[in-house]
Structure 1
């Protein structure tokens, strides 16, 4: 290593993890409402707080009244699995993968549900040719590939006259990117991404065509209790009013409510998207100013504004581990190593709960770590 001094100024909040992500600015546990803690989630108060959380999601995310919102077990993964296990199997299925989480849904469709899906793939950093998609199929995809930093640029590629369902894992897209709700039959996310909330709970949003599928189709395989969305051929609509399938953490619910109220206080969805865009722009400037850094997602049109993945010249996995550990040791940046299945590189969260000033302050620290290890 060279004998260089670390920068004097550190990011005020060095939380750049891509999940769980940075808490909203100003967050502290003392600011959370506690009246629901120690109470039953089925009490009048408990159900009211769950319903309030759902109402805030609809308000801040601008979910149309045509779509239902439910809080479900198992984080975003649980919500995606619930959609796949309850709705797939009626018609052919296409799964689209350009990073590890999309590849996970391929595996579930192929090896667990055994429905022999059509698989459309692209390498990390690339977006597949979406024109290949046959919309007579149900289609499962990630709106934003968290582990590759590649997103779909919009919803134009989704057919308006589709016969199948569009099922979008949008956990690192919501509250930061535009969602085409008229093109989205099922959307899932978790609080622990763009809201900076806690994990363990997922959010499942269903459009009218998804509800119709649930009420008209019974899959061939048995469904665990935590996946069941219908009873007697009818949607269990209480799930979408805050009557959760199993016991939620009311502390996590209150934490999500805090984050949603913070987002609303900023000016709602447009303000949250603007913060993510500003953060991504600040990080892009750092990349443009350094010839040893690059974007894994080469095309700006499909580059994420949340989970931004960077290449590091000549870096292997061992180098990246040392690089991230050095910054963590100096409390300059936490959890910025790329995902374990992705090409070696850095991944820096730029969602709305991060401050652009902290992205800017990160630049000299990246330089310092590079100089120390190169």
Structure 2
């Protein structure tokens, strides 16, 4: 039942998919768009390997990845790709792991509790903040998250990474790639997953290696054992077949075709610049609305550090501030549930480890009109929750 001051909106989003991963499929997506000739075939067959290589080549083309960088398909989504980079490259010298949200903190735990790095600096910050990255020594290896998926905070630039620095840079870019520009010259190992900005099926990640990263892998053998899924060397050298369409374990060719379809859609609309522009326009709709809504604030106070993908917002104001912690936590959950029940918006409650919040995905596959239609519904739901006390 709606209250008297906030009428129920008339229009619903046509595609109410606002999850931050897996994200919305690209406009016009359907199963009919997926090629099926490789299905039921071995991933080692000419056609299977060819489709995997095509996914790699199309990724390079759209992202503008330098020709001398290698791109491999990894198991375990972005997590598998990122941990493979950590397990195979860290430990040779001093390292810094920088984090400002949930997934970055996982990499800290990996470095502290699993790899038990002897010469390790942990650099962290609260949700919505970015730590002092300029304090990281240039001879340190560094692990960082380009865009905080669960906080909505991104790095402003890569000025804190000196050209030709001695340390290796390991960049978790899963919620940034295809939406934000990458400074490839300063990135040695970059990872992402298919189900983020491109809205493809999950389970597979991508590992992008610079020549400097390849040299580290080939010249260094870590002290710890490597699971099979992280073994990217063969005979003391990088197994380059993994970066030419071979995979460490059996991939899903159906998921591969879904990723290819998303890449072909991206190419058809103008490539990377068009993807960036769509994400920027989408995020502006939501961030402008947050600024104009007195009972919300962006989780990220610095506008230069606000993402254009998973925009996170927290509640404020006398009514909300007067609630106890449990009641405050219930507000975004209740709003998200109300709108899911009405098929208005799915999966936009804040991440479980983040402060109570809403998180609206604004990446390139989302349509502006769907965002414009969602926001009045959030206002309506908030008024309903507030009216009920």
Larger displacement relative to structure 2 (104-113 or 126-135): 126-135
The answer (yes or no) to whether the contact 2:96–2:140 under 8 Å persists in 1 is yes
Distance 1:3 1:115 in 2: 57
**2:94 alignment partner in structure 1:** 92
Residue 15 of structure 1 and its aligned partner are, at CA, apart by 0.5
1:348 aligns with 2:350: no
**2:42 alignment partner in structure 1:** 40
Residue 9 of structure 1 and its aligned partner are, at CA, apart by 0.1
**2:299 alignment partner in structure 1:** 296
**1:105 alignment partner in structure 2:** 107
Distance 1:90 1:56 in 2: 34
1:128 aligns with 2:140: no
Residue 78 of structure 1 and its aligned partner are, at CA, apart by 0.3
The match for 2:228 among 225, 230, 237 is 225
1:358 aligns with 2:361: no
Distance 1:199 1:120 in 2: 30
Describe the superposition over 1:22-59 as per-residue Cα deviations: whole angstroms up to 9, x where unpaired: 00000011211000111100000000000000000001
1:316 aligns with 2:328: yes
1:347 is paired with a residue of what secondary structure?
strand
Consecutive unaligned residues in structure 2, runs of 5 or more? 321-326
The match for 2:207 among 204, 207, 212 is 204
Residue 288 of structure 1 and its aligned partner are, at CA, apart by 2.1
TM-score, length basis structure 1: 0.98
The match for 2:267 among 264, 269, 279 is 264
1:16 aligns with 2:18: yes
Residue 66 of structure 1 and its aligned partner are, at CA, apart by 1.8
Larger displacement relative to structure 2 (146-155 or 307-316): 307-316
1:150 is paired with a residue of what secondary structure?
coil
The answer (yes or no) to whether the contact 2:287–2:311 under 8 Å persists in 1 is no
Residue 2 of structure 1 and its aligned partner are, at CA, apart by 5.3
1:181 aligns with 2:168: no
Residue 285 of structure 1 and its aligned partner are, at CA, apart by 2.0
**1:372 alignment partner in structure 2:** 384
**1:249 alignment partner in structure 2:** 252
TM-score, length basis structure 2: 0.95
Distance 2:181 2:296 in 1: 28
Distance 2:98 2:144 in 1: 5
**1:139 alignment partner in structure 2:** 142
Describe the superposition over 1:187-220 as per-residue Cα deviations: whole angstroms up to 9, x where unpaired: 0000000000011000000001100001000000
The answer (yes or no) to whether the contact 1:60–1:268 under 8 Å persists in 2 is yes
Residue 6 of structure 1 and its aligned partner are, at CA, apart by 2.3
Distance 1:23 1:89 in 2: 39
Distance 1:323 1:135 in 2: 45
Residue 286 of structure 1 and its aligned partner are, at CA, apart by 1.5
Distance 1:42 1:2 in 2: 58
**1:3 alignment partner in structure 2:** 3
Describe the superposition over 1:52-92 as per-residue Cα deviations: whole angstroms up to 9, x where unpaired: 00000001111111210000000000001100001111011
**1:72 alignment partner in structure 2:** 74
Distance 2:251 2:75 in 1: 8
**1:158 alignment partner in structure 2:** 161
Distance 2:266 2:297 in 1: 31
The match for 2:285 among 259, 282, 287 is 282
Consecutive unaligned residues in structure 1, runs of 5 or more? none
How many residues are treated as equivalent by the alignment? 374
Distance 2:266 2:9 in 1: 32
